[in-house]
Amino acid sequence: MRVVRDLEWQGPVPAGEGEYGEFFAAAAEGRLLIQQCPQCGHRQHYPRALCTACAAVPEWIEASGTGTVYTYTIVRQYGVPAFAELPYVLAMVDLPEGVRMFGGLTGVDPEAVEIGMPVSAYARTYDDDHAMVFWEPA
């Protein structure tokens, strides 16, 4: 996964407590992680301290970084200063690994976004060691 160094970000950031922090730290190294249960095989995202299917301790696996848009919206009004640059696209992305991920979808004309379109992940750092995952057309 491509990593964009962007330390200018002034908006809200993830707190990164517990497993969340491991996810965002891996993203800063270009790895898109999801969790898989060693006991029952269940895969999940967001990361947690237990498997939601069987309560075992999940392990990390690396996802391919590809996906398709499950649904999306174009945000045209939002009163938060950090998001003054409108419109922008937010999407739920289905990963071939079997989980769904939420994130910003960039590098595309908002009007051209369609459900089912293939996308790929990239990471954008928000501090020296952590990055958020975004999506762009594949």
Partner 1 sequence: MQHHALAARRAIADCGIAKSAIDGYVSTSGGGPGAGDDAVSMAEYLGVNHRYIDGTMVGGSSFEFHVQHAAAAIREGLCDTVLVTYGSDQLTRMGRVLGTGGFQRDAQPVAGAMQMATPYGLPLVGAYALAAHRHMHEFGTTSKQLAEIAVGIREFAGLNPDARYGDPITVEDVLNSRMIADPLHKLDCCVITDGGGALVMTTEEIARDLRHVPVYVLGAAGTQTHWNIHQMPDFTEMGATVCGPEAMGQAGVTPADIDTAQLYDSFTITVLLMLEGLGFCGKGEGGSYVQEGHLRRGGSMPTNTDGGGLSSNHPGMRGIFLLIEAVRQLRGHGGEAQVPDAEVALACGSGGWLSAIGTVVLGKDRPS
CB 105 within 8 Å of CB 136? yes
Instruction: Output 59 or 114, the one with its CB closest to partner 1.
Output: 114
CB 77 within 8 Å of CB 86? yes
Report, in Å, the least distance between residue 104 CB and partner 1. Answer: 5
Residue 29 as a binder of partner 1 (CB under 8 A): the answer is no
Instruction: Output 32 or 132, the one with its CB closest to partner 1.
Output: 132
Which residue among 100, 107, 118, 138 contacts partner 1 (CB under 8 A)?
100
Euclidean distance between CA atoms 24 and 49, whole angstroms? 15
For residue 80, the 8-state DSSP code is -
Per-residue interface string for the shown chain with partner 1, residues 42-71, x marking contact by CB under 8 A: ----x-----------------------xx
Best CA proximity match to 136, nearest among 89, 96, 85, 84: 89
Residue 15 as a binder of partner 1 (CB under 8 A): the answer is yes
